[in-house]
Structure 1
Amino acid sequence: MNFLARFETERPGSGQRRSSGKHPFKSAVAGLAGLALAGLWPGLAQATEIQEITTDAGITAWLVEDHTVPLIAVEFAFKGGSSQNPDGKEGLSNLLSATLDEGAGDLNARAFQGRLEDLVMRLSFEDGRDDFYGSMRTISLNADDAFEMLRLAVSEPRFDTEAVERMKTQLIANIRREKNDPDAIAGRVWSQTVYPDHPYGKPSDGTEETVAKLTPEDLRALQQRMFARDNLKIAVVGAIDAETLKPLLDHVFASLPEKADLKEIPDVQPKTGMTETVELNVPQTSIRVGLPGLKRSDPDFIPAFIMNHILGGGTFSSWLYDEVREKRGLAYSVGSYLISRDHSGMLMAATGTRAEKAAETLSIIEEQFRRMADEGPTPDELQKAKDYLTGSYALRFDSSSKIANQLVGIQIEDLGIDYIKNRNQMIEEVTLDQVKAVARRLLAGKTPTIITVGPNGA
């Protein structure tokens, strides 16, 4: 699990974006993308005009249209993800993300990948805990053929035995490698400890045993349950207008079932006050410290987001960075993260340090938690955090892919089509009292759960 959480519209995925960009864009297209970065997208960051369109089949999408460069980026998401894995079939959604581009329609895996390369397009899929994501990049000249390839992957995946077994072998190899990765172990043990008997506590990538047993029939059943029109969010950015886009979206998605068949996932609070140590013969100890956090819909989320930036979210300016790295040199990287999911929220701190310094490092992290609860930030720290968070927001929109990604995240979190215009003002309006209040709410009098992985369980 990747604990470098992705911010407000947070898409808490597995941290492994699998791309059929086994065949990347050719150099000429890469040059066009560079021009986009230099000119088109910074302008969009300042005044992004989002059109909400509805196709003849009733599919809704958000479109940012600009013809400065002939590129189109498509991002979409289905509600579902690894939380929909049946018991005993952990890793199924992960395998689905790895096999959708391994042959579809009349094209086997080799032919499908070759066709993607011929069209100079990228297609990728990723599973998160609560959502399943898809992404497509193409030059506008090939839009019709690119959307057809996307349709095949979404609606007519082959799940050929050879391709499925090949991808299972790769995923099992990854699982085996992670058995000696302290960060991967810490993430897995963390989930199991704070979310026992809940889908969030199951290994999203599965285990060697569960992945080995997965079948093409399992993949087809999950794809048919999860891919539907009622749980679909779409964002398109680039050189295409609404009237051209509408029939292409219908071509890709209109044939999907009207309603998804998802199992109900209960809300859950992560358990606190738990301590787990795992012995692993490695030079460093991996540390996770966490408490219940907030869902993205919580009214206190923006004050909490600012508070966390000051605590550990600001890479070079946070309390944790200053106390753990700058003053004492105990770790190269340290931070805290708000992780908001559909059915739970967490406030997490994470670092890795020399085994003999693990206890000291852990003590400092807990001390900064208490300091934030008791004192809160100064007015100057609050203003610097606001300046950074508002000033850096445009960086989330410096490419077509990032814009589309943000727009899908905003839709998933139901933040509203005007969120981009309002977001910085919402941050500016947060008061010091609000930040201190949410710090007390999340940190005061709470005993965190602690996971350590390292020599002698230190």
Structure 2
Amino acid sequence: MRPLNAPLQVIAMTFPFRGALLCALALLSFARPAFAGVDIQHWVAANGARVYFVESHVLPILDVQVDFDAGAARDPAGMSGLASMTQELLDSGAGGLDEDALAEKFSDLGARLSGVVDNDRAGLSLRTLASTREREGALALLRTVLTQPEFPATALDREKARAIAALREADTKPDQIGGKAFARALYGDHPYGRSPSVESVSAITRDDLLAHYRRHYVASRAVVSIVGDVTREQAEAIALQLAGDLPSGEPLAPIPPVTMPQARTERIAHPANQSHIFVGEPVTRRGDPDFFPLQVGNYILGGGGFVSRLTKEVREKRGYAYSVYSYFNSQREPGPFLIGLQTQRAQAADALKVVEDTLARFIAEGPTDAELKAARRNLVDGYSLRLDSNRKLLESLSTIGFYGLPLDWLGKFPERVEAVTAAQVKDAFRRRLSAEHRVKVIVAGD
């Protein structure tokens, strides 16, 4: 089902649709409701769960996500892959129903169950029609999966075998090798630097799954995000229904702070024809005060596709790579800033020098007025695409809820982008990026 081969995982699984409800829900999913404004309601349920709700009656659909502080950073040392495997097997049997029976019941209701795991969180999301029969049936099944998972040994053995096979295959691919090495070089033994291995996955037992589930899937650390065709009163009942039977839970120790790496270059031998190059350093947390200057600046540097500086310098002027990109990945602790590209082995050194020179020049000079204006316009114009469906709105809402971002985060996004100045971009990049901490990983480089 889901390979445990990525250091930064966001992986989803879905159940199939069936019958007439398939057609209705699939057609509705293509509709694009217009969100003139996003009114986010927030409260803490009696069981301690934090609830975030957007009421929308544009479509007869309900989307719900329940997240927990149960991501890969909570894997014990030597047990990387435990968080992902626990989440993976929540629906493999629950409340006396095996996985086939669960899948059939979701399908008969026209509902879709999905899972998400990354470094910080893990959980489940549900999409269902908002009509009473379908909504109540789907929510009851979700509650069963969340509160009564059984983790059958046969399913664990099967998924371990699949994961191990995927890991062995990934260990032959230069992009996967490079991604793991990059995370390791940035974070060392910090939980963000660990990746699942054949050995760590092989060691996972059913008792380990149960222990991880009981410790982390608790009401006091549940974040319930609800978007769709229900009232506030119904949303309050849904939140209590989904997390009401979970234990309150004991406090967790915080994730360790990130120690900034020392600059280094790691070369990994591989027979591939192309070199895979990763350049970056840990930079941003969720809610970082420099978020908007860094995002606007990154659009200009390497996040804007064909209009970015890196693309112009690396691809258009010199033909070193078809694609070169950069991004900031914010997490609970500082997530990575990454520049990535693939290029012919013989020109890897030249391509890397162009990347480094382009970055250094951008940090020193900042953006031009024309670049800044275009970046702000494109980011604001693309903003509506973040909210053009209940599902996308749910993804943003769950992020706001899990990381405790301001409730006006979405509503004020355009004006905060528009307020970014060239001086702010230059200052943020100068302060937050440092050659002293910049790590370079080159797979298949000469």
If the length of structure 2 is used for normalisation, what is the TM-score?
Answer: 0.93
Give the counterpart letter for 2:186 in structure 1: V
Alignment equivalent of 2:348, drawn from 358, 366, 381: 358
SS in structure 1 at match of 2:252: coil
* 1:9 aligned residue: none
Deviation at 1:297, TM superposition (A): 2.9
Deviation at 1:215, TM superposition (A): 1.0
* 1:169 aligned residue: 161
Contact preservation (8 Å) 2:49, 2:221: no
Q: C-alpha offsets along residues 276-313 of structure 1, whole Å, 9 cap, x if unaligned? A: 11111122111100123122333222111111111111
Distance in 2, Cα, partners of 1:368 & 1:230 = 47
* 1:15 aligned residue: 10
- Mapped pair 1:187 → 2:187: no
* 2:109 aligned residue: 119
* 1:317 aligned residue: 307
Give the counterpart letter for 2:154 in structure 1: E
Change beyond 3 A, Cα 1:384–1:193: same
* 1:369 aligned residue: 359
Unaligned runs of 5+ in 1: 3-11
Q: List aligned pairs for 1:423-434, cutoff 5 A.
A: 423-434=413-424
Deviation at 1:59, TM superposition (A): 3.6
* 1:102 aligned residue: 92
Unaligned runs of 5+ in 2: none
Q: How high is the sequence identity, in percent, across the aligned residues?
A: 33
Q: Which moved more, 1:139-148 or 1:264-273?
A: 264-273
- Mapped pair 1:199 → 2:191: yes
Contact preservation (8 Å) 1:20, 1:123: yes
Deviation at 1:370, TM superposition (A): 0.7
Alignment equivalent of 2:143, drawn from 139, 151, 157: 151
* 2:405 aligned residue: 415
Alignment equivalent of 1:48, drawn from 25, 38, 43: 38
If the length of structure 1 is used for normalisation, what is the TM-score?
Answer: 0.91
* 1:329 aligned residue: 319
Change beyond 3 A, Cα 1:138–1:32: closer
Q: C-alpha offsets along residues 191-228 of structure 1, whole Å, 9 cap, x if unaligned? A: 1112112111110xx11111112111111110111112
Change beyond 3 A, Cα 1:234–1:247: same
Q: List aligned pairs for 1:190-269, cutoff 5 A.
A: 190-203=182-195, 206-269=196-259
Give the counterpart letter for 1:256 in structure 2: L
- Mapped pair 1:88 → 2:83: no
Deviation at 1:444, TM superposition (A): 5.6
- Mapped pair 1:77 → 2:72: no
SS in structure 1 at match of 2:220: coil
* 2:278 aligned residue: 288
* 2:335 aligned residue: 345
Change beyond 3 A, Cα 1:444–1:253: closer
Contact preservation (8 Å) 2:21, 2:110: no
* 1:8 aligned residue: none
Q: C-alpha offsets along residues 245-272 of structure 1, whole Å, 9 cap, x if unaligned? A: 3223212101212134534321113413
Contact preservation (8 Å) 2:31, 2:389: no
Q: C-alpha offsets along residues 418-457 of structure 1, whole Å, 9 cap, x if unaligned? A: 1111111111111111111112113465462100111xx4
Deviation at 1:27, TM superposition (A): 6.6
* 1:38 aligned residue: 31
